[in-house]
A = this chain, B = another copy of it.
Amino acid sequence: MVLPLLTAAHRRFIIIALIAVLCVFYFMSMGPEDYYSSAKSLSTGQSKDSTSVEQTSDTPLLLGSAPAQSKPSPSFGNITPHDVSSPRRANATLVMLARNSDLDGVISSVEQLEAKFNRKFKYPWVFLNDQPFSSEFKRRVSVLTDADVSFGLIPHEMWVQPDWIDEGRAQAGRNMLVKEGVIYGGSVSYRNMCRFNSGFFFRHELLTPYKWYWRVEPDVRFYCDLDYDPFVFMEDHDKVYGFTISMPEWAPTIISLWSIVQEFISEFPQYVSPDNAMDFISDDAGDSFNMCHFWSNFEIADMDFWRGEAYTKFFDYLENAGGFYYERWGDAPVHSIAAALFARKDQLHFFKDIGYKHAEFAHCPQGKQWREGHCSCNPNDNFDFAQSSCLRNFMRLDDWMFG
């Protein structure tokens, strides 16, 4: 035993150190909720201003992105993330675009994601709307979480159809899609939303402080507990874009999109990653688009990727072509094509452990992940390898798995 050999002063020091450690453990023993409650009372939140912003909590935002800490993994389809105990946080936010009339669906989505994930992690929420949120909306949504909640108004120029769009041509495009029975074919507001989600949300002043986001929509289902931090996971594995469901786009909505993409690639070949995921979006090495895209109502991704030079140039190129209004380009194919071409294929991540449903399409984790996630979904209600799922295309990127 070493202790008796020490001087009395040394012993006192050790005792004091032990007491200090004990105090630290005492605070740790409070559990995450108590811990965050204490944190709240010890620090004030960073205030964010927007045309219509309400700060409902003073949980610290902990801004400042931590750098990626490990090499990209070649096994992008098969990483088992577990980082539960890490106190490290990512510079991330949960974001939802919603209307006041979506209140019930918003509450349902937030209640679930809080229960399954965010109660433990307390990432802030940002809600965006092209109209001011009602006080009732803000009151009912804010109460659901102890995390920071902000409500923002989308600036007019990020939302409405630009003046330079030829409205006659846009109207003709809408009429054609209505005639073909395409969903939202005649809707201008849907087009506004797709364009906003494609090129603007990450530039909204409530989102500019953040690097990572989890896009959530009203009325979706989250089925499973998520006990690790998916943002820290993305960061640690040098990921850029995470998804749960993939499927083909309606061809009539993006008639000219691929030819514009091809033009862009010819003009700016330097943006295309040498190790891209072209095989996900094309069955013929880029000659044609196979319509496959990540279903973007769920996204866990890196806004700095959208803010970077490649995507900025790409979005401007698409914007100038006018296809968001002349056709009905969705943010899903736009994001997916960009992620597939400008990122490395190993930077795309299939969150197979996140049980999720939107409309009629569900991803239900299987086997061990279903059990460990306490998933409430039926494992057989799973779109992964349904006829029209594109997950096969994603899996074939993983050469070592199938090659």
Contacts and interface: CB of A to CB of B under 8 A. Distances in A.
A265 interface: no
A125 to B, nearest CB: 13
A140 B378 contact: yes
A350 to B, nearest CB: 22
A90 to B, nearest CB: 20
A183 interface: no
Contacts of A145: 374
A374 B146 contact: yes
A370 B139 CA distance: 11
A33 interface: yes
A25 interface: yes
A4 B10 CA distance: 11
Contact of A18 (B1, B22, B115, B146): B22
The oligomer's copy count stands at: 2
Interface string A139-176: 01001111000000000000000000000000000000
A291 B107 CA distance: 36
Interface in A350-383: 370-371, 374-376, 378
A111 B376 contact: yes
Contacts of A85: 34
14 contacts: A11-B11, A11-B15, A15-B15, A18-B22, A21-B22, A25-B28, A25-B29, A29-B29, A31-B31, A31-B32, A34-B84, A115-B115, A143-B370, A144-B374
Interface of A: 1, 3-4, 8, 11-12, 14-15, 18-19, 21-22, 25-26, 28-29, 31-34, 84-85, 107-108, 111, 114-116, 140, 143-146, 227, 370-371, 374-376, 378
Given A33-B227, A108-B376, 6 more contacts: A15-B18, A18-B22, A28-B29, A111-B376, A143-B371, A143-B374
